[in-house]
Structure 1
C-alpha cells in the first residue's frame, strides 16, 4: 500500500509547496525528507482510518449476529406460547366434555326411571354412547355410573351384554377387581350366547390373578381355552398359562 500512495502524495504535495512560495530545490535533501515524513503521516492516518472502519464493520456484524439470535429466540418463544395456548384450549375442551358427561350421569343415575318408556326414543342409544365415551376417555368412575344406569333402565336392550361387559372393564380399570369379577360373571350367566363371553372369562382370570388368586386364575384360563379354543381370548389365555410355568 505504501508503494502505491507515496508517488501520489509526492506528486500532489510538491506543486502545492511550490505554489505557496516554498523553494524546494531538487537537491535539498531536507525538503525531500519532510515530504516523505508528511506522506508517511498521511499513510499512517489512512491506515488508522482503515482500522477504525474495520473495527466498526466488525461491531456492525456482531450486532447483526446478536439481532439474529434474539429474533430466533423470540420466534421459538412465540411458537412455544402458541403450543401452550393450544394445549390449554384442548384441555379446557376436554374438561368441558367430561363435565357434560358427569352432568348427564348425575341426571340419569339419581332419579330412577320407572321404565324405558319414560325416556324419549333413542335415549338408550345416547346413554350407551355416553357411557362408552367416558370409558374411552379414561373417566372410569363416570362410565361405571352410566353403564349401571343403562343396565338398570334398559336390561333387555340388545346392547345389555356389551354394557355389562364394559361395566366390568370400568371396575377392572379402577382396580376394583372383586366388582369386576362379579360383572364379568354376569356376562357369562345372563348372556351365555354373547360374543363377549370369552373376553369376560379372560378378564375374570386376569382379575383373580391381580388379587393373588392364582389357582382360580389358572382354572378360568383353562376353561376358556376348552370352551372357546378358536377365540382370540383363548390365545391370550394360553400365553398367560405359559407364564405360570
Structure 2
C-alpha cells in the first residue's frame, strides 16, 4: 500500500489555504467588485450593505481554529486537541475501580479478622476441654490407686495376722489364737484364708479339751464348700465324737471321709480308727 504523503498536519495546511481562497472569491463575486450597495430601508432610509456585510462578517466569521475544526470534521478527522481534551474524561471513569477494589479489600480483611477470632475461640475451647479431661483422668487414676491400695494392704495385713495366730497356736496359746482367728473372720469371712481361720479355731478348742465346742467349730468348716480343709474337718469331727463317747456319729463322719475323699491323706488313719470300733 502506498504511504500517504501528507500527514494529518500537512493535510490541514493544504486544505485551509484552499478553502480560504474559495471563500474570498465567493465574497468578491457577491460584493460586485467592492462597490457599496445601498438598499431602501424602512421609512425611506438607505442601508449601507457593505457596512452590514462587514459587521455581519465580523460577528459571524468563525475563528481560524473553528474553521480548522469544521474542515477536519468534514474530512472525518478528529482534532488532536479534542482527543487530548477527551482523555481526562475517559481516564476519570476507571478512577472508580480502585475505590471499589479498596472497599473489597477492606471487606475481606474484616472477614479474615472475624475468622481469626473464631479460630482463637475454638482453640481456647479445645484447650479448656483438654485440661478438664486431663484433670478427670488424674482424679480417676488417683481414685483407682486409693481403692486398690487399701485392699492390697488389707489382704497383706490379713495374711500377716493369720500367720501370727498360727504361731500362737503352735505355742499352745490357744485362747489368744482363737481371739485372732475370730477377729479375722469378723473382718472378712470371704477371704481366701477364712476357712482356715475357722478350722484352726476348732483345733484350738480341741487343744483346750473342749471337744463339744471343737465339734461345733469343725462343723462350721463344712459350710465352706470350696475349702481345702473339708477332709480334715470330717476326720476331726469323728475324733471329737469318739472323745465324747458318740461312736455312731464318729463312725458316720469317718465313713463319709472314705467315701467322699478316697484319695485323702487321712484315709489310712480313718480306717484305723474304724477298725478299733
1:80 is matched with which residue: 124, 132, 141? 141
- For residues 56 and 211 of structure 1, the distance between their equivalents in structure 2, rounded to whole angstroms, comes to 84
Inter-CA distance 209–161: structure 2 relative to 1 (3 Å threshold): closer
- For residues 107 and 153 of structure 2, the distance between their equivalents in structure 1, rounded to whole angstroms, comes to 68
- For residues 98 and 143 of structure 1, the distance between their equivalents in structure 2, rounded to whole angstroms, comes to 14
CA RMSD in angstroms comes to 4.2
Shift of 1:187: 6.5
- After superposition, give the CA deviation of every residue in 1:50-70 in whole Å (9 maximum; x if it has no partner): 124314412430342243034
2:235 corresponds to 1:175: no
Give yes or no for contact 1:128–1:150 (8 Å, CA) kept in 2. Answer: no
When the two structures are superposed, what TM-score results if normalisation uses the length of structure 2? 0.46
- Secondary structure of 1:86's partner? helix
- For residues 209 and 190 of structure 2, the distance between their equivalents in structure 1, rounded to whole angstroms, comes to 21
Which one has the largest radius of gyration?
2
User: Residue 216 of structure 2 aligns with which residue?
Assistant: 162
Count of aligned residue pairs for this structure pair: 169
- For structure 2, the 5+ residue unaligned runs are 1-87, 265-277
Matches for 1:102-117 after TM superposition, within 5 Å: 102-107=163-168, 109-112=169-172
2:205 is matched with which residue: 122, 138, 150? 150
Give yes or no for contact 1:161–1:191 (8 Å, CA) kept in 2. Answer: no
2:192 corresponds to 1:138: yes
Inter-CA distance 37–211: structure 2 relative to 1 (3 Å threshold): farther
2:182 is matched with which residue: 119, 126, 129? 129
- Secondary structure of 2:171's partner? coil
Inter-CA distance 79–124: structure 2 relative to 1 (3 Å threshold): closer
User: Residue 230 of structure 1 aligns with which residue?
Assistant: none
Which structure has more relative contact order (CA 8 Å, sep 6+)? It is 1
When the two structures are superposed, what TM-score results if normalisation uses the length of structure 1? 0.51
Give yes or no for contact 2:202–2:214 (8 Å, CA) kept in 1. Answer: no
Inter-CA distance 30–162: structure 2 relative to 1 (3 Å threshold): farther
